Amino acid sequence: MIESEEHSFKLIQIVEGLEHPWAVTWLADGRMIVGERAGRMHVIDGGSITGLSGLPRIHADDEQRIPPEGGGQGGLLDIVAHPGNARNGWIYFTYSSPGDSDSVVTDDRFGTGTALARARVNDEGDELVDLEILYVQQPLSEPGRHYGSRIVFPGDGTVVLSIGDNGLRYTSQDLTHPAGSVIRLHEDGGAYDGNPFVGMPPGNLRPEIHSFGHRNIQGLAIDSETGAVWATDHGPAGGDLLYRVEAGNNYGWPQVAYGDEYSTGAPIGIGRSAPGVTPPNHVWDDTRAPSGLTVYQGDAFPGWQGNLFAGFLRAERVQRIVLEGDSVIHEETLLRESIGRIRDVRVGPDGFIYFLTDRSDGGLYRIEPTD
């Protein structure tokens, strides 16, 4: 039993031996879908695990050649079942794409970019069918890192996803380039007509951009009670951020930053604020590397209702974040260095909280209340 401020709980491992798992989601019938960064997707049904064929071409980085500064990072990223999955069967997923083909590759000579696709699981539960590639970031970029990427559904026929700055920095302030942005599309593809830069002069602004000035958002969650979209964004050396994402806002990167250069320790940008830049709601000054974010809405943990839960890779913990309006008024650390690097955090349909650990032999875990 593990004690926390509001609840005591137990930690249960559900699946082991996953290679750098990135995301978990639930089909309407209760089966889970888990993706591995290497470009594999699995159906978990009770004690059985079945691989899915039919994925698009995915640039999947070899773990052995990822530079120490965090380069590479490509592969299968987020997976989220459509809110109407019981009706339409769609699951949406993001990945690093080098183009169009039907096999997993590692050749990135022509650049890569974040892509969004959707598909259905066939009746046998072993293949993706009706695959549609809805969006591919253009232009493709090098050196091939900081892809983001997380997905949320506002519930109005649109889909929102994050794209990292590709390690290039300048793209986050370039409205002719989608990297370093949160983008909003119609669920069947195409830029959302209500996006803030649609039709604005000089005419080459990207219509899919919803907000900009982001570095590498790997936590994105929507509060079903308020409609607020929350994000956790990687800082460089220090300065990881939590903020509310709103249409048209500039979040500052790289001119405004809260961390330092990896190599020299020098501050990045012009400071921690600037005219026209939306400040974060919370800053973690130490390097935590946030990945995975959820808003708790469920019956299993009533004392956590409406709290944010953020996973951290480098800090190897889950953070419970208590909000009052848009302000962070309290934090509590859970599972510190107990199961390793946390890649994803989700609330399951049973009201339990699920975690994926980012390891070559990673696992899927959940916590259940003991009180």
State which H helix or E strand residue 87 sits in: helix 85-88
Query: In this structure, what DSSP letter does residue 88 have?
Result: H
Please check whether residue 338 is in contact with residue 353, taking contact to mean a CB–CB distance below 8 angstroms. no
**pTM (predicted TM-score):** 0.94
Residue pLDDT tens, the chain, 371 long: 899 999 999 999 999 999 999 999 999 999 999 999 999 999 999 889 999 999 999 988 765 444 433 445 889 999 999 999 999 999 999 999 986 544 444 445 568 999 999 999 999 999 999 999 999 998 888 767 899 999 999 999 999 999 999 999 999 999 999 999 999 999 999 999 999 999 888 878 999 999 999 999 999 999 999 999 999 999 999 999 999 999 999 999 999 999 989 889 899 999 999 999 999 999 999 999 999 999 999 999 999 999 999 999 999 999 999 999 999 999 999 999 999 999 999 999 999 999 999 999 999 999 999 97
Euclidean distance between CA atoms 50 and 125, whole angstroms: 7
pLDDT of 71 reads 43
Q: Strand, helix or coil at 310? A: strand
Give the residue extent of every domain in the chain. Answer: 2-369
Euclidean distance between CA atoms 39 and 313, whole angstroms: 20
Sheet holding 308-312, edge to edge: 290-295, 308-312, 317-324, 327-334
Sheet holding 113-121, edge to edge: 76-81, 90-97, 113-121, 128-136
Please check whether residue 188 is in contact with residue 134, taking contact to mean a CB–CB distance below 8 angstroms. yes
Rg (CA), the chain: 19
Please check whether residue 76 is in contact with residue 93, taking contact to mean a CB–CB distance below 8 angstroms. yes
Question: Which residue is catalytic, options 7, 20, 82, 146?
Answer: 146
Place of tokens 């690093």: 96
pLDDT of 145 reads 85
Place of tokens 């592969």: 75
Please check whether residue 178 is in contact with residue 144, taking contact to mean a CB–CB distance below 8 angstroms. no
Please check whether residue 121 is in contact with residue 143, taking contact to mean a CB–CB distance below 8 angstroms. no
C-alpha 164: how far from chain center: 10
CATH topology of domain 2-369: Neuraminidase (2.120.10)
pLDDT of 103 reads 42
Which residue type occupies 42?
A: H
Sheet holding 48-52, edge to edge: 21-26, 32-36, 40-45, 48-52
Euclidean distance between CA atoms 332 and 4, whole angstroms: 8
pLDDT per residue over 92-103, tens digit each? Answer: 999 999 865 444
Euclidean distance between CA atoms 98 and 106, whole angstroms: 9
Is 146 among the catalytic positions?
yes
